[in-house]
Structure formats: C-alpha cells, structure tokens
C-alpha cells in the first residue's frame, strides 16, 4: 500500500554529490567492523546528483550507506537522480533476497517521489544484483517506468552509460580476494567476545590445548575460510568448512596421543574425538555465514544447505563439547 500522506504536492528531492567526506569514510569503517550494523543508512527518497535535468538518468539504489556511496562516488561529473529504496539498511544483493529491494518498494518510491513529474523519460537503471527481487514487467505495468539493468559493479557505470550496453566483463559476478578480505573484520568483531570467553573457560579448566583449539577453529572459520574459499573442494560452504576445520584439528588430534603418553587410551581417544568433532563443526558454522556475503549461492541453495547441515553441526559440536567435559574429569 502507498501511504498517500507521504505524497507531497511538490516532489521532495534531496541534494547529493560524488564526493566522499571523512565522515562518510568513517561510517564505512564502522560498517565494515559491524558497529551498529543496522544504522548505516541514508533516508529513502529521490536525490539529485549534480545538476540534473528532466532528461537525466535515474539510478536506483539501496539505502545502505556503502551501496549508496559506491553508486554516487562512481558517477563523478554525471548529472542524474538516485532513487533510494528503503531496504532497512541492507545492501542491494541481500535486500533483493529479502524482498526489500523489490518490485513493491520500487513502485512505492516512484509514486511517493512523483518521479513521472520530475523526469520526461520512463527508464530506471537498476544494479544487476537487484534483479532477483524485481519483476520488471510489474514495475512497468504499475508505474509506466521500464527497468534497465546496469553492470554488476557501480565502478563500471561511466563506461556503461556511453552505450547503455554491458559487456561480458560488466555482467560477470566475481568474489575476488579483495572482496573476501573486507568481510573478515566484521566477523572478528562479532566472534571476539564469545571466542575469548570459551578460550578462558577451557584454560581455567586446565586444558590450555583445548583453549588454543577453540581459537584456531574460529580463526579457520573467519579468516582462513574466506582467503582459501576458491581452492577448497566441494560445492557448498558447509562441507568446505567441515574440511577446513578437520585439517585445523589434525595437529590437536595428534597432540592427544603424542602429548599425553601417560594417559589411558580411552582418555586419549576421548580428547582426540573432542577436537575432530567440535573444531570442524565450529569452523563449518562460521563458514556458512559467508553465504550471505557472496553471490556464489542462491536463496534456495542457502536454505537447503542450512536445513541439511546445521543439525549435523549442532550434533557433532555438542558431542565434542561433551567429550571435552568428560576428559577434564577423567583421572
């Protein structure tokens, strides 16, 4: 439903430009480390970039500051309009999956902004990654504006606008090392306190090796996994994580036998199983979080993976922790 009260007699247009200030860059830093994740947003609505005319292009973006700023900063010297959707502070790709960067919200914003009175043409340029949430024919039917999908990356827009034709390179979705590395800080911040608490508890229980194992399992899941992602076999993130966590557990498994020659065999086996079960499960769970950061996986694929592997993660991790407790009290 369109809120008729939000439609003003005169279209409300916010000014903007292509320059990123120190404040903008600080906001980007805070977003990258996960500080107040839901608050990095701009007000939805219509923005004038430069000095647009009724013939200037209209770009559509999410109201996540990193998405909006990536778009406007790539359009230096370009006059145009940016129609910002209310995606609840979520980026274009994820918002398209959630439905907030979608047909209904585009229709709503076009109507509220009275876009038909602002521009003479009837074309909206959307980011390609927003396509999963948009039914272009419905937008055309309900607003009179037809949808044109621009390139994957905003940085390619200046070249794209010369012909309004995207070459194969502009259409290719990639997840290079640089994109994977910027995801690490937010996971480090989110997992720091729980990981530290677990490590401290294990340490004071007298198991400093188990404490170290907890740190290594998390490190594998939030740092090594995104770095090694393209080279890890299998097709889904969960089994990639299980494999990586298993490799990380091998030295600790060996230490259960080699580091404690005086232990009984069942205590050695118990601790070895502790590492072989708990570490891969923890790493796999953290690896699964990256499905929301990459276009490598579809919405349906992520759901199937979660239903298939999260129970296995929970069982193996739970048994591993139980064995850790048992081993501590075996004399």
Q: What is the CATH number of the domain that holds 24?
A: 3.40.50.11600
Task: Give the CB-side neighbour count of residue 66, counting CA atoms within 13 A.
Answer: 21
CB neighbours (10 Å) of residue 3?
9
CB neighbours (10 Å) of residue 235?
10
- Which domain-ending residue is among 173, 197, 228? 173
Assess contact for 199 and 211: CB atoms under 8 A: yes
In the DSSP assignment, the letter for residue 99 is T
Tell me which residue of 218, 194, 207 sits closest to 284, measured CA to CA. Answer: 218
In the prediction, which pLDDT does 293 show?
A: 65
d(CA 82, CA 37): 23
In the prediction, which pLDDT does 299 show?
A: 55
* 235 and 103 part of one domain: no
Assess contact for 59 and 71: CB atoms under 8 A: yes
- pLDDT-flagged residues of the chain (< 50): none
Q: How far is CA 314 from the centre of its chain?
A: 23
Which position has the token pair 């404690």? 260
Q: How far is CA 263 from the centre of its chain?
A: 45
- Which domain-ending residue is among 138, 155, 173? 173
Please state whether beta strands 146-149 and 123-126 pair in parallel, antiparallel, or not at all (unpaired): parallel
In the prediction, which pLDDT does 250 show?
A: 95
pLDDT digits (tens, 9 = 90+) for 6-39: 565 677 899 999 999 999 999 999 999 988 888 9
- Which domain-ending residue is among 120, 139, 173? 173
In the prediction, which pLDDT does 8 show?
A: 59
In the prediction, which pLDDT does 110 show?
A: 97
In the chain, the number of structural domains is 2
302's CB contacts (< 8 A; 6+ apart) are 291, 292
Q: Which domain holds residue 146?
A: 4-173
In the prediction, which pLDDT does 7 show?
A: 62
* 114 and 183 part of one domain: no
In the prediction, which pLDDT does 297 show?
A: 61
* 17 and 164 part of one domain: yes
User: For the packed helices 184-204 and 208-219, what is the interaxial angle rounded to 10 degrees?
Assistant: 170
* 89 and 212 part of one domain: no
């Amino acid at each position: 439903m369109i809120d008729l009260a939000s439609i003003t007699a005169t279209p409300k247009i916010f000014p903007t430009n292509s320059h990123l200030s120190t404040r903008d860059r600080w906001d980007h830093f805070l977003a990258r480390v996960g500080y107040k994740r839901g608050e990095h947003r701009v007000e939805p609505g219509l923005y004038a970039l430069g000095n647009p005319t009724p013939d200037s292009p209209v770009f559509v973006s999410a109201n996540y500051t990193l998405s909006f700023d990536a778009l406007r900063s790539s359009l230096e010297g370009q006059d145009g309009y940016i129609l910002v959707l209310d995606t609840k502070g979520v980026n274009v790709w994820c918002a398209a999956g959630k439905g907030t960067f979608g047909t209904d919200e585009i229709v709503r914003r076009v109507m509220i902004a009275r876009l038909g009175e602002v521009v003479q043409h009837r074309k909206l340029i959307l980011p390609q990654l927003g396509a999963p949430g948009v039914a272009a024919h419905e937008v055309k039917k309900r607003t009179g504006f037809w949808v044109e999908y621009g390139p994957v990356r905003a940085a390619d827009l200046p070249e794209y606008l010369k012909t309004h034709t995207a070459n194969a390179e502009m259409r290719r979705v990639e997840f290079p090392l640089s994109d994977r590395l910027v995801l690490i800080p937010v996971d480090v911040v989110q997992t720091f306190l729980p990981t530290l608490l677990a490590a401290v508890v294990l340490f004071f229980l007298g198991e400093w090796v188990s404490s170290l194992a907890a740190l290594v399992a998390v490190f594998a899941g939030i740092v090594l996994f995104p770095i090694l992602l393209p080279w890890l076999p299998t097709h889904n993130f969960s089994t990639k994580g299980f494999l990586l966590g298993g490799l990380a557990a091998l030295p600790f498994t060996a230490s259960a036998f080699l580091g404690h020659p005086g232990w009984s065999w069942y205590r050695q086996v118990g601790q070895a199983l502790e590492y072989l079960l708990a570490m891969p499960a923890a790493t796999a769970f953290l690896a699964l979080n990256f499905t929301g950061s990459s276009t490598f996986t579809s919405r349906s694929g992520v759901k199937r993976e979660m239903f298939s592997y999260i129970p296995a993660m929970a069982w193996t991790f739970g048994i591993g922790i139980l064995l850790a407790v048992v081993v501590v009290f075996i004399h």
